[in-house]
Amino acid sequence: MKRAIVLVDHGSRHAEANAVLDGIAALLRARLPDRLVRVAHMELAPPSVAEAVEACVADGAREIVVHPYFLAPGAHAARDVPAQAEAAAARHPGVSLRVTAPLGVHEGIVDAIVARLEGV
């Protein structure tokens, strides 16, 4: 069964801000080569969550995990991303869809902060 990951951020009018999620997706594809990896933006830029889910299904995914690329479980991560993902999945009854928690508190985030601080 093909599996997919959809990374979702807020979205921006600035292409360079949206490109950050593309960079994360590229790193994730390299780490998990057996998964389809797509990006989506909640607003302000394409693709939408619905468009990313559609692309995954078109590429044969039957299991999709949506990850809100947010630090905290605010309204977007806790309410908006799941609502958009579930609405998109409703159009594909044979597809399993789950939404993860946002990044939150994690040692890996602390490692990234320490690495940035060492460069200053």
Structural domain boundaries of the chain?
2-118
CATH for 2-118 is 3.40.50.1400
User: CA of 114: how far to CAs of 20, 72, 87, in Å?
Assistant: 19, 19, 39
| Residues labelled as active-site residues | 10
pLDDT tens profile 77-91: 999 999 999 999 999
Report, as ranges of residue numbers, the positions in the chain whose pLDDT lies below 70.
Answer: none
Q: Are 71 and 79 contacting, i.e. CB atoms less than 8 angstroms apart? A: no
Closest CA to 45 of 93, 84, 8, 82: 8
Q: Are 19 and 1 contacting, i.e. CB atoms less than 8 angstroms apart? A: no
At residue 120, the pLDDT reads 75
